[in-house]
Amino acid sequence: SQQGEEDPQALSIQEGENATMNCSYKTSINNLQWYRQNSGRGLVHLILIRSNEREKHSGRLRVTLDTSKKSSSLLITASRAADTASYFCALDTGGFKTIFGAGTRLFVKA
């Protein structure tokens, strides 16, 4: 399957803690994107990392990409209750489709 697989499926942490989510895939990619989905809402783009990049930052978000291991991680530092959402990795495999993973459900307890 070309689909990205997120790990863990669900994560529960305390406010202020860091949250780390991982995405593994099996095919080569042009880029990898992370999206957030709040309950009952559409997906919102967070960050894009290209295959020739290893790390990107955006505010409290840090994304790494290891193409040799075919994996990416999303780190949210100093989490807030408002970060409670599902997080999806999405793969650009060179075709015309974005392949979305099944998502990690993050719950941040206040």
Partner 1 sequence: DAGVIQSPRHEVTEMGQEVTLRCKPISGHDYLFWYRQTMMRGLELLIYFNNNVPIDDSGMPEDRFSAKMPNASFSTLKIQPSEPRDSAVYFCASSLDGVRNEQFFGPGTRLTVL
Q: Of 78, 93, 77, 107, whose CA–CA distance to 26 is shortest?
A: 93
Q: Residue 97 in 3-state DSSP? A: coil
Residues found near partner 1 in the complex (CB under 8 A): 30-31, 33, 41-45, 48, 88, 92, 95-98, 100-103
Closer to partner 1 at the Cβ: 13 or 102? 102
Q: Of 73, 98, 68, whose CA–CA distance to 2 is shortest?
A: 98
Q: What phi and psi values does residue 54 have, to the nearest 5 degrees?
A: -110, -25
CB contact at 8 A, 30 and 50: yes
Closer to partner 1 at the Cβ: 14 or 40? 40
Closer to partner 1 at the Cβ: 41 or 54? 41
